[in-house]
Chains A and B, each alone.
Chain A
Amino acid sequence: MATLTTPPEVEQAGSSTTTMTYREALRLALREELEHDEKVFLVGEEIGVFEGSYKVTAGLFKEFGPKRVREAPISEEGFVGLSVGAAMMGLRPVVEIMTLNFILVAMDQVVNHAAKVRYMLGGEVGCPLVIRTPNGAGNQLTAQHSQSFEQWFAHVPGLKVVAPATPADAKGLLKAAIRDDDPVIVVENLPIYKEKGEVPDDPEFVTPIGRARVAREGTDLTIVAHSFAVKRSLEVAEQLESELDVSAEVVDLRSLRPLDMQTVADSVSKTNRALCVEEGWSSYGTTAEVAARIQDACFDDLDAPVGRVGMAEVPMPYAKNLENATLPHSEKILGAAKHVLGVA
C-alpha cells in the first residue's frame, strides 16, 4: 500500500535528493532560477532585509542584492502591475504576495491585464510573470486572512495556476512557473511550509505544469484534492484503510489550470466513486469544477453521486472551536467519504 510516496518524477530524475521543508524547497527554486536567468527578479513586501514574512526568501537579498530582490512598499496593485509591465518587456518577475488575501487589491492587474496581454494584443507581446502566494487557514488568523481563492484565477483563460502539495513539487512547479512564458499563479500553503520531504538536487528538475499525481493508489474511492487538502486526504485514506478496509486512491491535482482531468477520469473509471476536497469554499469552487467534469467524463462508471468537501460557508471566525468547525478537517472528509461509499 502506498502512503506519502515520493513523487514519480523524483524517482525518474534518478539522481540524488535532499530532505528539506516545503519552504526550503521554494527558496532553493528561487535561488536556482535567479542564478539560471538574469532576467529573473523577485519583488514583494518585506522579502529583503526582513527575509520574507514567512521566510521563504531568507538569505536571497544578501546573496543577490537589492536589484534582483526588490523590496516593495505596501502597494500590491502597483508592484503587481509593474511586474506585468516588466514582463511585457521581457523580464521574468517573481512576485511575492504576502498571503493570497492581499492580492484582492491587485485583481485588476492580474485578471484584466496580465491574463489579457498576449491575447488582446494579438500575440504581439507576452507576459512571463509569476505570482507566488500562500493560501490556507488555521492559527486563528480570522476572516480576512484565512481564504483560498485559487479557483478565481483558475477561472480565467490566460492564466495558469499551480498548487504544490509536497516539497518536491514546491520546487518543481515553482521552477516550471518561472521558466514558463505565460503568467502563472503559484499557490503555496501556510500550514505545509514546514512539511519535510525529499527534493531532487538536479537543478534542471521541474514538475511539468498540467500533470496530476496519484499520491496514493487505491481501488474503491478516488479522492481528488490539491494543496494542503492532499495531506488531509492522505490521512483520511489511511483511516479508511484501517477502519473500513476501503482502498482509497488520492489524486493530487498539482495544476488547476490546466487541469489534468485525464488522470482523474482514469482513476474514477477504476474506483467508480469520487470525492472532491478543497481548503476553500466549495460553492463555485475547484470541487464544483472537477465534479462537473467527472460526471461528464465518467457518467457510466459512477456508482454514487460525486461528493464534495470544503470549508464551511462562513467567514472564518476567531474562536478556536469555531475555527475548527469551519475547516475541512479529516473528520469531515471521512464523513463525506463514507457517504460516497454508502456506509455512512
Chain B
Amino acid sequence: MAQTKGSANARSSNGRRKRTKKEEDSPEVAKLREHYEMMVLIRLFEEETERQYKKAQIGGYCHLSSGQEATNVGACAALLKEDVLFTGYRGHGFALAKGIDPGKVMAELFGRVDGAAHGRGGSMHICDAEYNYLGGWGIVAGQLPLATGAAFALSQEDQPYAVLCELGEGAVNMGAWHESLNLAGIWDLPVVFLVLNNIYGMGTTVDKASAEPEIYKRAAAFRMHGERVNGQDLEEVLEASDRLMTRAREERKPAVLECMTYRFRGHSVADAGTAYRTKEEIAEQQENDPIPAFGKALLERGAISSQDELDEIRSRAEKKVDEAVEFAEQSADPDVDTLAQHVYGDPDTADQFARMGPGSPYGERELVLSSGLGSS
C-alpha cells in the first residue's frame, strides 16, 4: 500500500463509526477512505454540473473531470496546504480535492458573488488564495510559466514548499512547455509538472499530436526526472506525487509526472465525445473506472466494511452536492456597481484614472471610471 509519508492533508477527518479491524483505524487508512469519498464527490459534482449546465444555470465553456478523479485526488493528497497549485481549465476536481468548499465552486459556476472568483472567472478560472490554488487558466499551457514563477518565488524566498502544475497532454507541444521546463531546470525550481494524459486533446489523439507521445520521456530533454503512472489508480498517483513533491520541496528538483487517464465525458459539455472515439472504446475505459475500482480495493482490504458503507459515503457526497447547489442558488448575482472592481488593485488607481474622463466613450465614465477601479 502506498504510504502518505510526509504528506499532511488539509482536510479534516469526519467522524467515523467504529471499525472492526485494526488496520482500518490507522490514519493512513482513514485517509484512503477520505480520498475515496472525495473521488465520489467529484464525480457527483460533475454530473450535477452537467445537469445544471443543461438547465442553463451554468454557461460558457465547461470541462468536466469525470473519469480523471484519481489524478485529482491522488495528486492533491500529496500537497501541503502551503504548496501552490495551478491547473488548466479542467479544474473543478482539483479545486474540490485541494479543499475548496463545493458551494464556492458551484456558486462560481453559477456566476454568483459567493463564488470562488466572485463571479468573474467561471468554470475555467476557479481559484482560492487561502488554499494556494492560484487558478484554473484557460489558454493551453499558459499556466506553466506562471507555476514556474510561483516556484521561483518559493525558491527566492527560501520557502520549504513546492508547486504542482497540472496540464493536459495536449499542452506539451506549446512553446510555454519548453520554456517553462527549461527555466525550472536551469534554476532548480521546486515544481512538479503533472501531465494528465487522457489521450485526447479535444479530438486529436496524442500520437497524432506528439512526435514523442510518451510525454514523460520529454523531461529528459531538460535533464529532468520524468515518470509515468497509471492515473486510474489513486494510490499510484498519490505515491508518485508525494515522492516528487517531497523531492521538489527538499531538494529543489523539478519533475514531470505523467498520469495515464481517460475522460468519460466529451472535451466540454458541448462535445458528445463520440466523433473521434467509439462508444465501445468509452465502455471499455469505463471498465477501468477509478472509483469503483478503488472502492472494491478498500472493501477487499477491509478499509471499508460493507456495501452499506459505500452507499453511505455516496449519500454523504450527494448531500454535499445538493448543499453546494443550494448555496449557489441562494447566492446573489454580483452587483453591477462592482463591474470595474479588481481590474486594478493599487490603492492609488482611482486617483490615477481620475483625469481620464473627458471624451471617454459612452458608458465608460459611468460604469468604469467612476466606480472604483481599485480593489476596495
Contact = CB atoms under 8 A, between A and B. Distances in A.
A56 interface: no
A180 B375 CA distance: 13
Interface in A209-257: 209-212, 255
A82 to B, nearest CB: 4
Interface stretch (A13-21, A105-113, A280-288, A317-325): A105-113
Q: Which 4 A-B pairs have the closest CB atoms?
A: A81-B145, A85-B149, A78-B179, A293-B359
Contacts of A211: 355
Contact of A88 (B119, B142, B146): B146
Contacts of A87: 149
Contact of A263 (B116, B180, B345, B355): B355
Interface in B330-376: 341-349, 351-360, 368, 375
A85 B120 CA distance: 20
B343 to A, nearest CB: 5
A312 interface: no
Contact of A124 (B128, B145, B152, B157): B128
Interface string A103-141: 001001100110001111111111000000000000000
A73 B186 contact: yes
Contact of B125 (A121, A126, A255, A294): A121
A122 B145 contact: no
Interface in B164-183: 175-176, 179-180, 182-183
A82 B344 contact: no
Contact of A123 (B149, B152, B175, B345): B345
B12 interface: no
Contacts of B120: 119-123
Interface stretch (A142-150, A185-193, A195-203, A295-303): A295-303
A84 B356 contact: no
Given A77-B175, A122-B116, A298-B359, A181 B347 contact: yes
Contacts of B240: none
B242 to A, nearest CB: 23
Interface residues of B, number: 59
A118 B121 contact: no
Given A90-B153, A122-B116, A297 B359 contact: yes
A175 B147 CA distance: 27
Given A180-B346, A182-B345, A258-B352, A73 B182 contact: yes
Interface stretch (B129-137, B199-207, B304-312): B129-137
Given A88-B134, A181-B347, A293-B360, 6 more contacts: A75-B182, A85-B149, A109-B145, A123-B118, A180-B348, A261-B355
Interface of A: 41, 67, 72-73, 75, 77-91, 105, 108-109, 112-113, 117-126, 157-158, 160, 180-182, 208-212, 255, 258-265, 292-298
Given A82-B145, A88-B149, A121-B135, A258 B345 contact: no
Contacts of A67: 156
B275 interface: no
Contacts of B347: 181
A81 B359 contact: no
Taking each of B180, B351, B353, B359, which has the highest tally of chain A beta carbons within 10 Å of its own beta carbon? B359
Nearest to B113: A122
Nearest to A93: B149
Contact of B356 (A90, A180, A258): A258
B137 to A, nearest CB: 7
Contacts of A91: 153, 156-157
B157 to A, nearest CB: 8
A139 B170 CA distance: 43
A123 B175 CA distance: 29
A258 B156 contact: no
Nearest to B135: A121
Given A121-B117, A122-B118, A88 B358 contact: no
A210 B342 contact: no
A118 B355 CA distance: 23
Contacts of B80: none
B115 interface: yes
B358 A41 contact: no
